[in-house]
Structure 1
Amino acid sequence: MPQTILTLSTRGQGLYEFTDQAEAFVNASGREEGLFTVFVRHTSCSLLIQENADPDMGWVVHRAEGPDDMPAHIKAALTQVSIGIPVARGRLVLGTWQGLYLFEHRDRPHRREIVLHLST
């Protein structure tokens, strides 16, 4: 199972975490090492790695570490052009507070397709 398509339903603009589904895909592959690649098949949303530890992590609400916290996250999101994550010991090598998100840019609900791929 080196590739699958994950479908996420959005409710409008915001961040939609799918770290658990990505980790489940890697785990089910049985591979210990490789490169996990994520690709979204739409032009009005994007993908990003972002903090997933703060319960206040809402769209432009996150200020737990000061007023410049959310602007810093937005800048990181805007410079992201692709996502490739190493896999080691059968797990995604994400940082302690990192998670994978679909970043929905549209106001109305959508069904978004995300391609998950694991190569050796």
Structure 2
Amino acid sequence: MTFQKVIAYQTQPRSTRNITADISHIIAQSAIRTGICHIFVQHTSASLMICENADPDVRRDMETYMQHIVPDGDPMFLHQDEGPDDMSAHIRTVLTNPDLTIPISDGQCALGIWQGIYLWEHRTHSHQRRIVVTVQGDK
């Protein structure tokens, strides 16, 4: 069986948003007990990640590291149509994940105790982001 839903978020600039509860709710709606949940962000300047869910310093450190390796406005970037954070946001997405696949066991995300699912906004402005969630498996 397959179940699919699209969810939208208004992001904050350069931030992470915990979407674990929303994904868990969609899995519950699907009534699938064993299978997989595929999550895909339909944008080229935001990504998804499974990350530490207890200490927000981990996500801040991820952002700090990303700013270090992919600085905004680097003169080597030709593409800056939407500002100095344009190409750096695209590179951040390529280096991370526009999609995730998570196992479903007993009707729930089979995440580890310290894992959460996050939408990671790479632009320096708020954006409306769409995520397609597809749940497949057996009831």
TM-score by length of 1: 0.80
**How far has the Cα of 1:82 moved from its partner?**
3.6
Structure 1 equivalent of residue 105 of structure 2: 88
Larger relative helix fraction: 2
**Pairwise CA RMSD of aligned residues?**
2.4
Structure 2 equivalent of residue 49 of structure 1: 50
**How far has the Cα of 1:53 moved from its partner?**
1.0
User: Which structure has the greater CA radius of gyration?
Assistant: 2
Structure 2 equivalent of residue 97 of structure 1: 114
Query: What are the ranges of 5 or more consecutive residues in structure 2 without an aligned counterpart?
Result: 66-92
Q: Secondary structure at the match of 1:28?
A: helix
Counterparts of 1:44 and 1:106, CA distance in 2 = 7
TM-score by length of 2: 0.70
Query: What are the ranges of 5 or more consecutive residues in structure 1 without an aligned counterpart?
Result: 63-69, 72-76
* Same amino acid, percent of matched pairs: 35
Structure 1 equivalent of residue 5 of structure 2: 4
Q: Which amino acid aligns with 2:100?
A: I
Aligned residues: 109
